[in-house]
Amino acid sequence: MRVTSNSFNNAVVDQLNRLSSKQYALQRQAATGQRIENPSDNPDATRQVLDLKTRLQTQGQYQNNISALSSQASAVYSAIQGVQRASNRAGEIAILADGTKSPDELKTYATEVNHLIEQAVQQGNTKFGDTYLFGGTKSDKPPYVLGHDAEGRPTNPTYQGNTNSAPTEISEGVSISIAPPAANSSGSGPRGLLADDRSGADLLKHLVSLRDHLLAGDTAAISSTDRPALSRDEDNILYHVADHGALTARLEAASTAATAQNQSVRKSISQQTDADLADTLVQLGSVQTAYQAALQSAAKLMGTSLMDYIR
């Protein structure tokens, strides 16, 4: 069978083109450190990288959520501490206001309790950014409104929030809410910070009662009614202190896990896309050697005349 001279030329050109393309690709890998520039370079690896990047984006959102909740948690804890201080002081006054105190002393205590009522309402109306923390999902207005009588004394504290929570997702299938409602009289759902029917707590109502009994000089009512009521409020607040600590610990654990998963996904992406520089340079050297050999072969073949085939 006769072989035309064009067949050799075409074969040599094809081989040179393949080696040149391979050489260029390896040079690009060495320069950029990336094995994949276009999806066509490795379709399977490209698909895996896209899936991993989607996971990375999701993990990033979880980390943002955790960070936002952690910042919110500081404001929540500060408010809980403020409520606890008001509750503790009210309990002290209820113990101090016994039968040995004069009417003037009792009135002085009553004035202090008025400030404690204002303080507790202020803490219940704590705002974080543009959001009221303790109003449930009604976060666009203060949870409590407080009236005042003709003497300027605080009275009729009214809760205008709800008992619904607004959980935030911190990992796949796991959501938490960092702020409880200020009050819950429904008998179910998250426990109220200032008032909750299940525990018999209603700090603002009990503070108003203590103030009124102090003004009336009714130390017997303070002893039999106000002290036990304020004790229930203290227990309820202690519950929230403990619960908040547990939630904060969960946030810290979730943050650590999210960071670890983020690093793991990034490593997987790197394994799929990053070039092994040492291996790339070895391959590049081999291809360059083959390319030079092909050029030398081509020079010899191209120098062959038609008379060489006729002979």
What is residue 260's predicted lDDT score, i.e. its pLDDT? 85
User: Which class for 52: exposed (0-12), middle (13-18), buried (19 or more C-beta within 10 A)?
Assistant: buried
What single-letter DSSP state applies at residue 223?
I
Tens of pLDDT, residue by residue, the chain (311 residues): 455 555 555 665 665 566 555 555 555 655 555 556 655 556 666 676 666 667 778 888 889 999 999 999 999 999 999 999 999 999 999 999 998 999 999 999 999 999 999 999 999 999 999 999 999 999 999 999 999 999 999 999 999 999 998 899 998 889 999 999 999 999 999 999 999 999 999 999 999 999 999 999 999 999 999 999 999 999 999 999 999 999 999 999 998 888 888 787 767 766 666 554 455 555 555 656 655 666 666 666 555 544 444 45
**CATH class of the domain at 53-266:** mainly alpha
Q: Residue 260 corresponds to which tokens in the numbers above?
A: 């670890």
CA-wise closest residue to 56 among 218, 270, 227: 270
What is residue 87's predicted lDDT score, i.e. its pLDDT? 97
195-196 and 183-184 as β-strands: parallel, antiparallel, unpaired? parallel
What is residue 310's predicted lDDT score, i.e. its pLDDT? 45
User: If residue 175 lies in a helix (H) or strand (E), which one and from where to where?
Assistant: strand 174-176
What is residue 290's predicted lDDT score, i.e. its pLDDT? 58
Q: Where are the domains of the chain?
A: 16-33+275-304, 53-266
Q: Residue 275 corresponds to which tokens in the numbers above?
A: 């070039």
What is residue 52's predicted lDDT score, i.e. its pLDDT? 66
Please give the model's pTM, rounded to 2 decimal places: 0.73
What is residue 221's predicted lDDT score, i.e. its pLDDT? 97
What is residue 262's predicted lDDT score, i.e. its pLDDT? 78
